[in-house]
Amino acid sequence: MDAWPGKQMHSHNYHVPEPFLDQVVVIIGNSNSVVDISGDIARFAKEVHVSDRSLTDEPPRKQPGYDNMCLHSAIASTHKDGVVVFRDGCSIHVDVIIHCTGYKYHFPFLKTKNIVTVDDNRVGPLYKHIFPPFLAPSLAFIGIPWKVVPFPMFELQSKWVAGVLSGRIALPTKEEMLEDVKSWYLEVEAVGWPKRYTHNLSNILFEYDNWLAEQCEWRKLMYVATKKNKSAHPESYRDEWDDDHLILQAEEDFQNFL
């Protein structure tokens, strides 16, 4: 692909769709960035072709809701004249290729004397994808897992770490944390995933979030009450509520903790 003469970029560098006006764009990948960027660019581009290597070599198909977007299998070859050939046999002259192919973990600023390493995109060992057993709780990683609902998970992870650092929540022993890490590695192998999928939590997303929530003792009843009030009074639920007893209890508990 290095010999292909057109513009190539990673999704990390994508900002706005206007520069792709009337261009033919290939987007490589099959995850959230592809969905977001392809729909955005399709409003301006002449054609958008999404290449998903997980697809069989079936004929390309139009994407629902778009007249100018097609889904293809993987790219078979690229050529110096600007042509891109897909495994499905389709050949297209392309202006831009956008790689939505994920990220690699890299921590050049972190010196742990190999206590924490990155091996084929596996950061570890990390207990619950957060704490290195031999450096816990002084070091914690927030946001390592992928194929997740990110920001709610980040918040839960952060609350758990804060609870551990404050002494309110106790971690298992180093040995127990290492055993948990090894157990997770075995689960990854059992489903046939490569090592680089270690932090893919698509199979246990809600199980993982619920576990974190239980560790933090989150106030589910307060959330349910707020959700109900928001549905009933979307414009004023922040100012008027009927769950004040739950809020008062939370405030009292916080004061007692202090």
Q: What is the mean pLDDT of residues 218-223?
A: 76
What pLDDT shows up at residue 238? 76
| Cα–Cα distance measured from residue 205 to residue 165, given in angstroms and rounded to the nearest whole number | 24
66 close to 8: Cβ distance less than 8 angstroms: no
Domain-wise residue ranges, the chain = 7-99, 117-218
Q: What is the mean pLDDT of the chain?
A: 91
Q: Which residue has the higher pLDDT, 49 or 60?
A: 49
Q: What is the mean pLDDT of residues 219-224?
A: 76
Q: Does residue 169 surpass a pLDDT of 80?
A: yes
What pLDDT shows up at residue 94? 97
Confidence of residue 241 (pLDDT cuts 50, 70, 90): low
pTM of the model: 0.74
213 close to 238: Cβ distance less than 8 angstroms: no
What pLDDT shows up at residue 243? 60
Is the CATH code 3.20.20.80 the one for domain 7-99?
A: no
Q: What is the mean pLDDT of residues 144-152?
A: 93
68-109 tens-digit pLDDT: 999 999 999 999 999 999 999 999 999 999 999 888 999 999
Residues in the chain: 258
Q: Which residue has the higher pLDDT, 200 or 250?
A: 200
Q: Which residue has the higher pLDDT, 220 or 151?
A: 151
| Cα–Cα distance measured from residue 99 to residue 238, given in angstroms and rounded to the nearest whole number | 42
Lowest mean pLDDT among 33-47, 145-159, 191-205, 217-231: 217-231
